[in-house]
Amino acid sequence: MNTPASAWSSLPHAPLCIAEFEVAGGILPLGASPFGERRVGYITGGRFKGDRLRGEILPGGGNWSTTGEIPGGVAGTFDARSVWRTHDGALISVSYAGRSVIPPDVAAAFRDPAQPHVDPSRYYLRIAPVFETNDARYAWLNGVLAVSCGERLTTGVRHTMFEVR
């Protein structure tokens, strides 16, 4: 398939929401396996807000991640599930996969919850959320693929999500 370069020059997108996932209790290291260093972080709550979408992230979801060494730092994968409840009571299942790259000179501060802020331009957190709901008011979400830039917080992570159009 031969796609013109102009088709790739701009990916149509629109702001969707900012989601803040809270992860209390730290990250549970499961250890090394043949598939990488596995860790689990449980979602204990959070919130999301955008022009068409706002509410709370319910406790009980989690992120099953892997980490490994690459040239230039530590790379990771995300495999996460969560349930969102909108301000008007709709339930939305949100799952995402993604990648992280943390350079060696940022790694210690990034992993230290006592560090109040680590400049997000110094590391890479990206996810691709997909949504599922049976609520007619939010049925449009069933066709949305989003992309997100993440920022580490002392309480978890903030993702600024964009709908790919």
Arithmetic mean of pLDDT, 88-98: 98
Residue 101 within any structural domain of the chain? yes
Residue 2 within any structural domain of the chain? no
Provide the token pair at 4.
């013109």
Give the closest residue to 107 by CA, choosing from 149, 150, 74. Answer: 74
Residue 8 within any structural domain of the chain? no
Which phi-psi region, left, alpha or beta, contains residue 45 (left: φ > 0; alpha: ψ -120 to 50)? left
Q: Provide the whole-model pTM.
A: 0.89
Secondary structure (DSSP) of 92-134: EEEEEEEEEEE-HHHHHHHH-TT-----GGGSEEEEEEEEE--
Q: What percent of the chain has pLDDT over 90?
A: 64
Least confident of 49-58, 73-82, 90-99, 138-147: 73-82
Arithmetic mean of pLDDT, 112-121: 85
Q: DSSP secondary-structure letter at 58?
A: P
Q: How many domains does the chain have?
A: 1
Residue 42 within any structural domain of the chain? yes
Residue 37 within any structural domain of the chain? yes
Mean pLDDT of the chain: 90
Asked if residue 104 has pLDDT above 80, the reply is yes
Residues spanned by the domain of 136: 25-164
CB atoms within 10 A of CB 109: 16
pLDDT in tens, 7-64: 556 889 999 999 999 998 778 888 888 878 898 999 999 999 999 999 999 999 999 9
Residue 39 within any structural domain of the chain? yes
Write the CA distances from 59 to 42, 88, 96, 154, 156, integer angstroms. Answer: 8, 18, 16, 17, 13
Cα angle 98, 31, 66 (rounded to 5 degrees) comes to 10
Residue 73 within any structural domain of the chain? yes
Please report, for the domain that includes residue 110, its CATH number.
2.40.160.20
The rounded radius of gyration (Å) of the Cα atoms in the chain is: 17
How many CA atoms lie less than 13 Å away from 56 in the CB half-sphere? 8
Residue 10 within any structural domain of the chain? no
